[in-house]
Structure formats: structure tokens, C-alpha cells
Amino acid sequence: MKQTKRQIRNTQYATLITVYCSLITVLLASCMTPSLAAEPTPPFAAARETATPREVQTEAPMRFVLPSPGAEPVSGWRPPLYPIPWAVTSYDHFYFTRPNPADQVNWPQPDYRYGGVFFANEVHTGVDIDAFLGTPVLAAGSGTVVWAGGGFYTGVVDNTTDPYGLAVSIRHDFGYQGKPLFTLYAHMSQVDVTVGQHVEAGEQIGLVGETGKTTGPHLHFEVRLGENLYHHTLNPELWLSPPQGWGVLVGRLHQYNGLLLESTNVRVISDETGVIRVVRTYGSQTINPDPYYQENMVLSDLPAGLYQVSMVYDGRDHRFWVEILPGQATYFTYTMYGDFKLIPPPTPALDFVPMTPTPTATRRP
């Protein structure tokens, strides 16, 4: 019987469908994992496998392994520093950048700030910055190297017993109130500059070490005004540029009779985060307050915001509030038993009165 075109087309479609189904069956069989494919029962093992079924381990074709959640890390991250020199008011002098790289710890250790008492009542004349052995030490500002090597404290070159160990000192290209500024970098393991060499801010001058009188590797950093001597230091936290959006707390705390509080712990508590920072007021020896603030307490690197300041004195808990402003020094005074003032100190008067020349008559020719 002669087939019509429609019958021939239907026959072709049926053949194609049969072929496609066969291909799909083969592909599915090849993709089956061993656990899905039928396994032949080996001879002489049927009874044993019936008693103890053999486990077949399969590997998932796609597997995601997520780590177990751990404790939230404690971060010491800080924003980038303000460019130097930075001064919002005429009495700010954030002239120096940090002497450690930005990807390392570059802020003072809480227990080793300026004015603290260590080593048998010796007062700390700088700040200690924690660092690993061999961390680069950077110039905090541009200037000329005036000391490079051992013996800085004693003045005896290469004195191996000098408490500063290997040290570098820089006389900077700028000063303050007509006086020269110096910075000191101590306890180094390696010195990379020579006396008379000019360096720029951020230039490597050596490596962190533990030479001299120290209990471990760190950088001891000082700021000196007027003369490059031990008794001419100032608090570096008032000279180092703060992180952007952060500020500095400066305080003068004294008793009712006007005597300054010495070596007293002060707690500074963030109202936003509840983070507690502790700073100690200055000791009594070899300490020089800022010419303007006349402070005895400085705490730098505070995020802008509201803070509660508290201390225990004479068995009483004294508390008050301050606001840290970005890029500025917030100054306060507190007299025991409640006299709190959040106003800037008075403008310093001139040490002398310039003489006005007496006019004299000049005869014309």
C-alpha cells in the first residue's frame, strides 16, 4: 500500500523520539553515582552482606564547606592620618606623622605614655610604640640627622650601656614659637642614616630593635623643644597628627589647693561603644607641660563623640562628660569636688613688651 506523506513524516518522528530516548537513558546511566547504580552481588558473599550490609561512600558532585563562626577579632584599625602639618586652631601643633608604617601599630602603648613612672621611679619622657623586631622606623618630619648610633643619652659615641641603645635624632626644618624642634627614635636594631643627612617625612631611618634599657622590641619616640636634651621633652601625643575624624583629649586635673594630681588613673568611656580607655596623669619629675595647655593628662586617637571621664580620688568617684571633636584637641580643667570647666586656656601673654621707637625730627636738605 502506498504511504501518504503524513504517514511517512509520522514514522520519521517516531524513529527520532526512540533515538533521543535511548541517548538520554545512556547519559543518565553514565552520570549515576556508584550509590545509585546497581551493583552485582559477588559470589559466595550474599549471606555475609545480608548479615552486615557493606557501606558505599559516595562523594557529592558539588560540596560547600563553611568555616565555623569564631570570636569577633579585636581590630586596632585607625583611619588615615590628617596631612601634616595639621592645626585647626592657632594653638594646635600636629606637625609630625607616625614613626611607624601605616600597616603596623603606630599608636602609643597605653601603659607607656609620656609622664608615666617606670624603672624605679624614672619618669617616661616619650611614648613607646609596640612593634615587631625589624619593623621600619620612619622620620616623623623633614629635617637633618644630628645623631645616629649609640650613646645618645650619655653623649659618648657607641656607648653600649647607653639606656637609649641605638638611636637617631633629627633637627627638623621647622620649629615652634621661634624654638627648634627635635625628634628622637630609640632602641633600634639598625641605623640607616648618618649625621648630617637630610631626610623627608616618612623616609626609613632604621629598624625597630631592643637595644638599650628595654624589656622587649619597641620604638621609643620623643619630641623635644628648644634644646635636644633629656629635660626638654614634650608629650608626643600633642604633636602627632591624629587619624581623620578622631581627636585628642587634653586635661589639667588638680586638687582644691591647686596642686596637680600625680600618677592618677583616669577612665575615658565612649558613650557610643562603651569602650574604656585608661590614662594616667603625669608624674612629678622631668615632665614639661605644653606651653599653652599646661596639662597633666593627654589621651590621643579618640574617635569623635561623647565620652564620660571618671576617676577615684579621696574615696569618691568623680565624673563628667566631654565631647571629642574631629581633628582637634578637646581641653578641660577639673578641680576636685566638682569644678569642671570645658573652656580653652587663656591666651598666653607676651614675655616682653616691644619698645616703640621715639620719633626724631630729620632735617631735610
Q: How confident is the model at residue 124 (pLDDT cuts 50, 70, 90)?
A: confident
pLDDT at 271 over 80: yes
pLDDT at 56 over 90: no
Q: From the centroid of its chain, how far is CA 350?
A: 38
Q: Can you give the pTM of this predicted structure?
A: 0.74
**Given this model, what pLDDT does residue 150 score?**
95
Q: Which residue has the higher pLDDT, 208 or 354?
A: 208
Residue entry with cell 624605679: 120
Please tell me the distance from the alpha carbon of residue 197 to that of residue 203, in angstroms, as a whole number. 12
pLDDT at 65 over 50: no
What number of other Cβ atoms are within 10 A of residue 171's Cβ?
16
**Given this model, what pLDDT does residue 10 score?**
55
Q: How confident is the model at residue 253 (pLDDT cuts 50, 70, 90)?
A: very high
**Given this model, what pLDDT does residue 71 score?**
40
Q: From the centroid of its chain, how far is CA 14?
A: 77
Stretch among 20-34, 225-239, 253-267 having the lowest mean pLDDT: 20-34
Burial annotation 316-335 (CB, 10 A radius, 16+ → b, else e): eebeeebebbbbbbbbbbbb
How distant, in Å, are the alpha carbons of 16, 166, 183, 210, 291 from that of 158? Answer: 96, 8, 19, 16, 34
pLDDT tens-digit map of 168-211: 999 999 999 999 999 999 999 999 999 999 999 999 999 999 99
Percentage of the chain with pLDDT > 70? 73
pLDDT at 261 over 70: yes
Q: Where are the alpha helices (DSSP H) in 32-107?
A: 46-51
Q: Which residue has the higher pLDDT, 27 or 69?
A: 27
Q: Which residue has the higher pLDDT, 128 or 343?
A: 128
Beta bridge partners of 181: 225
Query: Residue 205 contacts by C-beta under 8 Å, 6 or more apart in sequence?
Result: 137, 138, 139, 145, 168, 170, 185, 191, 192, 193, 199
The C-alpha cell that represents 227 in the structure block: 634644646
pLDDT tens-digit map of 29-38: 555 444 434 4
Beta bridge partners of 42: none
pLDDT at 92 over 70: yes
Percentage of the chain with pLDDT > 90? 56
CATH superfamily of 117-238: Glucose Permease (Domain IIA) (2.70.70.10)
Query: Contact at 8 Å (CB) between 283 and 263?
Result: yes
Q: Which residue has the higher pLDDT, 15 or 232?
A: 232
**Which amino acid, residue 81?**
L
Please tell me the distance from the alpha carbon of residue 105 to that of residue 108, in angstroms, as a whole number. 8
Q: How confident is the model at residue 340 (pLDDT cuts 50, 70, 90)?
A: confident
pLDDT at 72 over 70: no
Q: Are strands 329-335 and 246-254 parallel, antiparallel or unpaired?
A: parallel
Phi, psi of 18 (to 5 degrees): -65, -40
Q: What mean pLDDT is reported for the chain?
A: 81
CATH of 246-341, picked from 2.60.40.10, 3.30.300.30, 3.40.50.10860, 3.30.420.40, is 2.60.40.10
Beta bridge partners of 206: 137, 191
What number of other Cβ atoms are within 10 A of residue 135's Cβ?
21
Domains of the chain, by residue range, sit at: 117-238, 246-341
Preceding peptide of 43 cis, ω within 30°: no
